[in-house]
Amino acid sequence: MLDDLTVVLNGIRSVILGNDSESERGNIIQTAIGIQDRILSLRSANEVNHPTSKDYIYETCRLAALIYLRTVINHTQFFKAWHPEELQELFSAIILTPMHYWKPLSGVWLFVLLSINPPRDEICPGAMFKFFLKMSSFHMAAWDWQCWVNIMETYLALQKWIRTPIDFQVPNSSSPRTTSDVLDVEDIQSVYGMRPV
């Protein structure tokens, strides 16, 4: 799941750093939609009697990956990509995971926190997530500086991707649109040939 998302985020970094073409952007979107469909088909850790039952690290990563993918596909900010019920599910998964489980997974934990940080004010423990983000960034930078730099550069490339409009012509439409407009399902289907969620 996270390896798939890494492919998408590395593609975005490549586009932002200069390998920009309409076909490359389309490939990134199509890849993201395929990964999103696959992750949506995975079971939640809240369901019983399967290998990922009560694996709340898995559930945390699954929910965060879905938000990253929705952000990539729709070119929308994190705070617009989150739904309140998803925030509550994610918070529940985080609460059910002892914090010492995240220590060897500090890069993954930082990845999760970066997706939560923008909408953190919409949930009760928002200040706690801000604290977690600061401490995790400090820990990650002290532990492995280059890894922290790579995570931050990728996150900033994603922010630039979100803010960079792409001009495209919606089939059967006379007016060009940009991805700074909120795309609806029909637009994404007609432009990229796949269905987002």
Tens digit of pLDDT for each residue in 134-186?
A: 888 998 899 899 999 999 999 999 999 988 765 543 334 344 434 334 444 45
State yes or no: pLDDT of 31 exceeds 80.
yes
Which pLDDT score, from 0 to 100, does residue 35 have? 95
Which pLDDT score, from 0 to 100, does residue 177 have? 38
CA–CA dist 124, 19 (Å, integer): 41
Which pLDDT score, from 0 to 100, does residue 196 have? 45
Query: What percent of the chain is predicted at pLDDT more than 70?
Result: 79
The pLDDT mean for the chain works out to 80
Which pLDDT score, from 0 to 100, does residue 145 have? 92
To the nearest 10 degrees (0 to 180), the angle between helices 126-143 and 106-116 is 140
Q: Phi-psi bin for 49: left (phi > 0), alpha (psi -120 to 50), beta? A: left
Prediction pTM value: 0.78
Structure tokens at 7: 């492919």
State yes or no: pLDDT of 197 exceeds 60.
no
CA–CA dist 1, 8 (Å, integer): 11
pLDDT tens-digit series, residues 89-120: 888 898 899 989 988 898 899 999 998 876 55
Domain spans of the chain, in order of start: 2-192
State yes or no: pLDDT of 46 exceeds 70.
yes
